[in-house]
Each structure stands twice: as structure tokens, then as C-alpha cells.
């Protein structure tokens, strides 16, 4: 089935020489979508967030991190807070649809989003990779490479990498069902219109 995925954007600055200090900053992965560590969303970084025109923030933390990884600007930005442990046994796939919906709503309305965990390396990177996979029809390897070009230090843990590899057939199967439902709904609508026109003494023709 042809899903007609859009092409992956090539715009945006790709860092040349990656410096260790860049791990503490956020990088633009897609136009308007940033990935970084909690250090990029701390109270001291409000001016940077405003300079980047951030409107939405996905904050990923485990319960034990809640005291120091938290939403700091709830009156300024729209937050999605997700409880995920950076563990190989953590089920991260269950969070992909919620994150995609949040980011789609942000970007389609002209907003700009930051996705961060504690270090911006494993959990947050996995969620951004999943978003790019589903939005542009990529496999894990290609989406990983795309994100790593822009934030070199990403490294989803082994369990997340395995789930991301499994995610490609999952999201494509979901899209197939959605497309099939839309086709079925269109067919039902045409049949309903045909019946209505016949009752009115009119003929119905597909153009």
C-alpha cells in the first residue's frame, strides 16, 4: 500500500564538529522540533526557550526524578509530562501515539516544541525517532541516523532500540487500517447518496 509519506526535511543546521559541551544544549531536529536535556529547560534557560520561540515541551522523567526534572514554566508553555524509566524493560511504545498527537498539534498550529528527558540521550531520543519514523515512513535505522546527524550523542537503550525496530510494521499496519476505514466510509457515503437520489427519482453517476 502507498501511504504517500512526505519527504523528510533537509533544512536546519547540521552540526559540523560535535563538541562534548553540546550535550547540554538542545538541537533542532526538524523545523520547529528540538531535542535536548533537562538542562535546556531549566529556569535559567527561559530566555533561550523564548528566543527559539518554544511553545510546547515534552518532559520525560521517571517518578524518582520528579523532584529535579519537572515543568518549570507551566504558565508560559504547554506541557506533556510522561513517566518513563530509562530501562530496557520499559514499554515505551505505549507512549508513541500520545507524543505524536501532541507534536502534530503543536507543529500544525505553527508552534515549536522541545522534547527533553534528563540527559536527552535515550528516552527523549527514542520518542523523537518514533515520531520521525511514523511521520515520514522511515525504518528505525534511517530515523536514528537522521536524528543523530543533528544530536550526535543520542543512544536509546537496547530495549528502546528493539521496540523502535518493531514499530515500523506496527504504525504501517495502523495506517492501513485507517486508510481501509476511510475507504469503507467513502463507499458507504456513496451508497447512501445513491439511495437518496434514487428515492428522489434522480440517477447518480460517479465522475
What's the CATH code of the domain at 153? Answer: 3.90.190.10
Q: What is the mean pLDDT of residues 87-114?
A: 97
For the chain, how many structural domains are there in total?
1
pLDDT band of residue 22 (cuts 50, 70, 90) is: confident
Query: Residue 1 falls within a domain, yes or no?
Result: no
Query: pLDDT tens, 53-90?
Result: 999 999 999 989 988 999 999 999 999 999 999 999 99
Query: Residue 51 falls within a domain, yes or no?
Result: yes
The predicted structure's pLDDT at residue 11:
59
Q: What is the mean pLDDT of residues 87-103?
A: 97
What domain range is 166 assigned to? Answer: 20-171
The three-state secondary structure class of 80 is strand
pLDDT band of residue 198 (cuts 50, 70, 90) is: low
CA distances from 57 to 2, 52, 120 (A): 33, 12, 13
Q: Are 42 and 102 in contact (CB under 8 A)?
A: no
Query: Residue 6 falls within a domain, yes or no?
Result: no
Q: What percent of the chain has pLDDT over 70?
A: 83
The predicted structure's pLDDT at residue 203:
38
Query: Residue 2 falls within a domain, yes or no?
Result: no
The predicted structure's pLDDT at residue 100:
97
The predicted structure's pLDDT at residue 207:
36
Query: Residue 189 falls within a domain, yes or no?
Result: no
Query: Residue 124 falls within a domain, yes or no?
Result: yes
- Helix ranges, the chain (H): 46-51, 96-108, 123-136, 140-150, 158-199
Q: Are 119 and 23 in contact (CB under 8 A)?
A: yes
12: pLDDT strictly greater than 90: no
37: pLDDT strictly greater than 60: yes
The predicted structure's pLDDT at residue 150:
94
Query: Residue 164 falls within a domain, yes or no?
Result: yes
Query: Angle, to 10 degrees, between the axis of helix 158-199 and the axis of helix 123-136?
Result: 30
Query: Residue 129 falls within a domain, yes or no?
Result: yes
* Higher local confidence (pLDDT), 17 or 113: 113
196: pLDDT strictly greater than 60: no
Amino acid at each position: 500500500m502507498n501511504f504517500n509519506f512526505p519527504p523528510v526535511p533537509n533544512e536546519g543546521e547540521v552540526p559540523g564538529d560535535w563538541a562534548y559541551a553540546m550535550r547540554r544544549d538542545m538541537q533542532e531536529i526538524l523545523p520547529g522540533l528540538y531535542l535536548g536535556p533537562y538542562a535546556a529547560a531549566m529556569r535559567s534557560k527561559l530566555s533561550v526557550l523564548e528566543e527559539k520561540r518554544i511553545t510546547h515541551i515534552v518532559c520525560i522523567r521517571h517518578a524518582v526524578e520528579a523532584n529535579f526534572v519537572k515543568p518549570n514554566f507551566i504558565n508560559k508553555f504547554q506541557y506533556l509530562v510522561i513517566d518513563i524509566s530509562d530501562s530496557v524493560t520499559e514499554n515505551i511504545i505505549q507512549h508513541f501515539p500520545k507524543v505524536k498527537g501532541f507534536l502534530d498539534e503543536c507543529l500544525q498550529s505553527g508552534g515549536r516544541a522541545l522534547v527533553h528527558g534528563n540527559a536527552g540521550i535515550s528516552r527523549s531520543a527514542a520518542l523523537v525517532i518514533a515520531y520521525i519514523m511514523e511521520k515520514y515512513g522511515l525504518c528505525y535505522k534511517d530515523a536514528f541516523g537522521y536524528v543523530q546527524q543533528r544530536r550526535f550523542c543520542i543512544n536509546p537503550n537496547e530495549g528502546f532500540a528493539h521496540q523502535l525496530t518493531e514499530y515500523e510494521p506496527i504504525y504501517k499496519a495502523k495506517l492501513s487500517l485507517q486508510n481501509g476505514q476511510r475507504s469503507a466510509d467513502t463507499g458507504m457515503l456513496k451508497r447512501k447518496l445513491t439511495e437518496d437520489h434514487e428515492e428522489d427519482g434522480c440517477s447518480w453517476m460517479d465522475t
